[in-house]
Structure 1
């Protein structure tokens, strides 16, 4: 049995969507981030960084995996799905996964912070991270103008990693109508039953 520790955030949605796409049973444990439950000693034993999500595979000696990208790779390799075996397609998928981990997530996360959570309004921070998020959206838009999916010609963990962030585009000050190929991709994935189920699993709690 898999046990997922998560919350209703883009990084949490990545894993609940992947588990739904893979049709894997799991036990969900939602953490209350406002109460800093993710900083409690019991959770730090699972993820020393004290962030969600984390996954424990109880069928493999209670093996713990943290960092959302690492969890996606673990699940893909465990099942043989959502990560191509052909070397070039596999590499492209991992490249776009890392693009999310190193670019979209950190930059859009900062845009969210300065636009909604900073105790004082900081115009420089708002402008910098909103513009950088828009630039990264442009990179995605260019890729998706040439490819149906990010990694290759089929759905992969790269798409699952990026989509929850694009789904929260408005909070980062972005208009998807300015990125037509990205909007096409976003809207198509939003209609997939597993994407809907994955979001509902966290958002409805």
Structure 2
């Protein structure tokens, strides 16, 4: 049990903090072991896991394919962050920050690495000219995209960590981040009371970014009983928006890719072809 009267020392030193990810967390960057990443046959190589940030990338790629962009075909390789796969030399070559998702675009003469989920969405939207307007509404869409990128740490590393993953429950951090998470839901709810989607009338990268974080709260499938704890039922407009997006075929597929938990018929552990969804479960053995 941590000391509730803790006083920070003059100089911080790393100690074992406990919690779900204590075995992999360190205050240093860089590769911890040598291992090349696998490479498939498609133009895009995605290295990821079906966390909210990872799902952003797979939904985007599946939406591009659904829209007829065959050149957006991709291989999705599983990166098990609980086992530290993100610290391999191959992965850190693509993302020095050791976070999923990471994307390698091999469609041109020179491979292009793209890391950070928001950068991946923006890169793909601009490359294919989809899900990002070029008219006066572009600024609105980008504003909501970056609103989500800035919000995620408060929801995940803040509320999610202290409510579900921390080794002890403390009132102050849980209250602090619960308040911020509810405020963010209220921001979205008020926006969605006046517009069909976050950016306006059209479905865009702003929705693709926000959906994987907000929908699981509505559905009650993230951070234990967070749906009840945060009274998520209060946000009717968010629920309407989440249900509409969840029904999209590309979104259904995108949520399955690199998924390693839940029902087997909801998992496509690795995705290398459209036919992988017909088999539902694709193991990486």
Instruction: Determine if the TM-score, normalized by the shorter chain, exceeds 0.5.
Output: yes
Q: Name the SS for the 1:55 alignment partner.
A: strand
Task: Describe the shift of the 1:175–1:20 C-alpha distance in structure 2 as closer, same or farther (beyond 3 A).
Answer: farther
Task: Describe the shift of the 1:174–1:22 C-alpha distance in structure 2 as closer, same or farther (beyond 3 A).
Answer: farther
Deviations 1:96-153 (A, max 9, x none): 00000111x1111011111111112122111111111000100000000000000121
1:151 aligns with 2:207: no
Deviations 1:18-68 (A, max 9, x none): 111110310111101011111122211100111000110011211000010
Unaligned runs of 5+ in 2: 1-42, 66-71, 260-266, 270-285
Looking at secondary structure, tell me which structure has more helix per residue.
1
- The answer to which structure, 1 or 2, has the higher relative contact order (CA under 8 A, 6+ apart) is 1
1:22 aligns with 2:64: yes
Q: Could you tell me the TM-score, scaled by structure 1's length? A: 0.96
1:190 aligns with 2:246: yes
Q: Name the SS for the 1:145 alignment partner.
A: helix
Q: What is the CA distance between 1:168 and its match in structure 2?
A: 2.2
Pick from 68, 71, 74 the counterpart of residue 120 of structure 2. 71
Q: Name the SS for the 2:200 alignment partner.
A: coil
Supply the distance in 2 between the matched residues of 1:37 and 1:194 (Cα, whole angstroms). Answer: 27
1:36 aligns with 2:92: no
Q: Name the SS for the 1:64 alignment partner.
A: strand
Supply the distance in 2 between the matched residues of 1:4 and 1:93 (Cα, whole angstroms). Answer: 25
State the match for 2:279 in structure 1: none
State the match for 2:230 in structure 1: 174
Matches within 5 A, 1:28-177: 28-60=76-108, 61-86=110-135, 88-103=136-151, 105-109=152-156, 110-169=158-217, 170=220, 171=223, 172=226, 173-177=229-233
Supply the distance in 1 between the matched residues of 2:165 and 2:233 (Cα, whole angstroms). Answer: 26
Between Structure 1 and Structure 2, how many residues are aligned? 203
1:7–1:30 CA contact under 8 A, matched in 2:
yes
RMSD: 1.1
Unaligned runs of 5+ in 1: none
1:176–1:182 CA contact under 8 A, matched in 2:
no
Deviations 1:154-185 (A, max 9, x none): 00000000000012214244343201111100
